[in-house]
Structure 1
Amino acid sequence: MAMDQLAAMATFVRAVDSGSLSAAARSLPSSLTAVSRQISALEQHFGTRLLVRTTRQLALTDDGRMLYERAKSILGEVKEIEEALAGSRREPSGRLRVSAPTLMGRLLIAPLLGDFLHACPSLSVDLLLVDRNVNLIEEDVHLALRVGRIPDSQLVTRKLAEVQMIHCASPGYLARRGEPQSPSDLPRHDCLVFSDAPGAATWRFGRDAKGGSRIRIAGRLWVNSLDALASAAENGAGIVRVPSWQVERQLAEGRLRRLLREHEPAPAPLHALYQPSRLGSAKIRAFIDFLVERWRGSDPLGR
């Protein structure tokens, strides 16, 4: 991509963020004529209209909105490269946008951010808590934490830890319904399922990928919140499948009992993912190293 195209995209993004061509010209600084010429050149290059100009504000066309989102991502990557080449990797700075599963982010990551920000005073963090796989480019996410096997992709991955899923229920529920002795007993029990789409679920058992078994579960309760599921299980609603670290206190205090331990699946890996263009990013490396150091020895994930 030619440098003049990058400059034109930067001007286009600045105009959208500023709300007008004149405001963009003042902030660059540049002349109004130069700003208008760059945006017109972009429209001519892509063969489409990007902005609808009115007397008071700018409005993006559909093509303009797509270019705006992609241009912000491209410009962010260029800035990362410039910082790495300039040697700024010695001092993490700027903005770091991280995504993580909701419960893990709330219980294990958010409590650490105060110390991390104190250690990196030139850095700010956006923490996005979502139970889905984000698109790093389209959503402008620098680093994503994901649990489970990572399919083949062009993203850089680093394994941070392992997450053990366990099955448990309250003593009250087990007194009423009995304790399952094998996974094949579960279809006759009330199972609590983490999902936002009710129906049928499959729970995997056994640590051998080839010799393991899969049990189809007809859930009595479906919730898209692990917190809510654990609370329901604690109050006798049924058997729940959750990360071991989530219910450590409930197990220690006897409010939940761990079931089918000898049949538990192999731990699922927790990975950090980021784009190859950010390989030399000081802020990404600083955050990953911070998590590894904080989790070493304390075993917050129940490894």
Structure 2
Amino acid sequence: MDQLAAMSTFVRVVEAGSLSAAARAIPSSLTSVSRQIAALEQHFGTPLLLRTTRQLALTDDGRLLYERAKSIIGEVKEIEAALARDPRQPSGRLRVSSPSLLGRLVIAPMLTEFLRRQPALSVDLLLVDRAVDMVEEDIHLAVRIGRLSDSQLIARRLADIRMITCASPDYLARRGEPRTPHDLTSHDCLVFSDAPGSAEWRFADGSRTGRKFRISGRLWMNSLEALVGAARDGAGIVRAPSWQVEHDLAAGRLQRLLIDHEPAPTPLHLMLQPSRLASPKVRAFVDYLVERWRRIDAFSAPPDATRRVDSHSDT
């Protein structure tokens, strides 16, 4: 049995939804497809598919094999492409995921220059506010905000994102500047949330995690972009990621508040599978993003470290 060919056929069967559909797509005979699936099940000593008259379903072992086989086949294709081209020139398709707001405002604007530098590469940018399954969804790189759980993924720390509390000079001239987090109960705060209610912001208090302080929410939105716009117009005090308000602060449209009470920064990482680390296109994008991030956020400095995520470490 050609194990790689059989795994490729198995992946096609799962994605096509039936043996006959996979046979047409390959193309191959239905008998050949059935024999390869049976050979795989005999080789691994376990059923991979549950067959009914209407559909196919994966067993638990079948799902494990599907995820791993899809990744292996993708890596083989990358190797074939690498051997057929100038090894100094990254090429192919790169799939990247990012949280929606960060991806739209920061990552997407960087892609024009990246594609100009790498004419043999194309990029799929997936904007989703969830942790993607990098194997199942064939993601080469994932941008993630926050502390990381245990994982066999490789993490490259890009930056420490600070949450900046700020307001327009016009608002502060009218209402005065808060000196402590307690003062926010007497101010108009602009709150990022899907549902109005009681609101709290976390500030430093000497402990590792900080302390939550109740604030007075005057305007609630589920769009940080709109909230920052309202703050520029003098509607109140907003808290937003450093990269989102950097230009407004530099231009004087917003003024930074409660600096001595700012909470600990939140780490921003690039995640990749260990098997992707040597890929020229992955390394090209990692190097480019690290280079660009050094220049876009004056409030954070990314350390020069690539590491494996373990033991809930976040440094």
**Shorter-chain TM-score: which interval?**
0.7 to 0.9
Matched, 1:234 2:232: yes
For residue 156 of structure 1, what is the aligned residue in structure 2? 154
For residue 174 of structure 1, what is the aligned residue in structure 2? 172
1:51 & 1:301 partners in 2: Cα distance?
59
Q: Equivalent residue of 2:217, what SS?
A: coil
Query: What letter is aligned with 2:186?
Result: R
> When the two structures are aligned, how many residues end up with a matched partner?
294
2:10 & 2:257 partners in 1: Cα distance?
58
Alpha-carbon offset, residue 21 of structure 1? 5.0
Quickly say closer, same or farther: Cα 1:186–1:22, change in 2 above 3 A.
Answer: same
Alpha-carbon offset, residue 74 of structure 1? 3.3
2:143 to 142, 145, 153: 145
1:302 to 299, 302, 314: 299
Query: What letter is aligned with 2:162?
Result: Q
For residue 93 of structure 2, what is the aligned residue in structure 1? 95
2:197 & 2:36 partners in 1: Cα distance?
53
For residue 282 of structure 1, what is the aligned residue in structure 2? 280
1:80 to 75, 84, 87: 75
1:255 & 1:62 partners in 2: Cα distance?
57
For residue 313 of structure 2, what is the aligned residue in structure 1? none
Give CA-to-partner distance per residue, 1:139-189, whole Å, 9 cap, x none: 332211122332332221111223222111233433444321111212333
1:8 & 1:217 partners in 2: Cα distance?
60
Quickly say closer, same or farther: Cα 1:96–1:209, change in 2 above 3 A.
Answer: farther
Which is further off, 250-259 or 99-108? Answer: 250-259
2:194 & 2:133 partners in 1: Cα distance?
20
1:253-264 equivalent positions in 2, closer than 5 A: 253-264=251-262
For residue 121 of structure 1, what is the aligned residue in structure 2? 119
Alpha-carbon offset, residue 272 of structure 1? 0.8
Q: Equivalent residue of 2:231, what SS?
A: helix
Which is further off, 178-187 or 11-20? Answer: 11-20
Quickly say closer, same or farther: Cα 1:199–1:74, change in 2 above 3 A.
Answer: farther
> Does structure 2 conserve the Cα–Cα contact (< 8 Å) formed by 1:207 and 1:266?
no
Alpha-carbon offset, residue 200 of structure 1? 4.3
For residue 204 of structure 2, what is the aligned residue in structure 1? 206
Q: Equivalent residue of 1:134, what SS?
A: coil
Query: What letter is aligned with 2:147?
Result: R
Alpha-carbon offset, residue 98 of structure 1? 0.9
Q: Equivalent residue of 2:278, what SS?
A: coil
> Does structure 1 conserve the Cα–Cα contact (< 8 Å) formed by 2:246 and 2:297?
no
> Does structure 2 conserve the Cα–Cα contact (< 8 Å) formed by 1:250 and 1:256?
yes
1:218 & 1:74 partners in 2: Cα distance?
53
> Does structure 2 conserve the Cα–Cα contact (< 8 Å) formed by 1:108 and 1:300?
no
2:207 & 2:127 partners in 1: Cα distance?
30
Matched, 1:71 2:66: yes
Pairwise CA RMSD of aligned residues? 3.6
2:289 & 2:115 partners in 1: Cα distance?
13
TM-score by length of 2: 0.76
Quickly say closer, same or farther: Cα 1:208–1:86, change in 2 above 3 A.
Answer: farther
> Does structure 2 conserve the Cα–Cα contact (< 8 Å) formed by 1:99 and 1:144?
yes
1:86 & 1:253 partners in 2: Cα distance?
47
Q: Equivalent residue of 2:157, what SS?
A: strand
1:181 & 1:99 partners in 2: Cα distance?
39
Q: Equivalent residue of 1:144, what SS?
A: strand
Which is further off, 133-142 or 78-87? Answer: 78-87
Q: Equivalent residue of 1:49, what SS?
A: strand
For residue 247 of structure 1, what is the aligned residue in structure 2? 245
Quickly say closer, same or farther: Cα 1:15–1:61, change in 2 above 3 A.
Answer: closer
Query: What letter is aligned with 1:49?
Result: L
Query: What letter is aligned with 1:173?
Result: Y
Query: What letter is aligned with 1:250?
Result: D
> Does structure 2 conserve the Cα–Cα contact (< 8 Å) formed by 1:191 and 1:239?
yes
For residue 306 of structure 2, what is the aligned residue in structure 1? none
2:128 to 127, 130, 138: 130
Q: Equivalent residue of 2:124, what SS?
A: strand
Alpha-carbon offset, residue 229 of structure 1? 1.6
> Does structure 2 conserve the Cα–Cα contact (< 8 Å) formed by 1:50 and 1:65?
no
> Does structure 2 conserve the Cα–Cα contact (< 8 Å) formed by 1:149 and 1:268?
yes
1:70 & 1:126 partners in 2: Cα distance?
25
Alpha-carbon offset, residue 80 of structure 1? 2.0
Matched, 1:46 2:44: no
Name structure 1 gaps, 5 residues minimum: 54-59
Which is further off, 269-278 or 31-40? Answer: 31-40
Which is further off, 206-215 or 245-254? Answer: 206-215
> Does structure 2 conserve the Cα–Cα contact (< 8 Å) formed by 1:84 and 1:280?
no
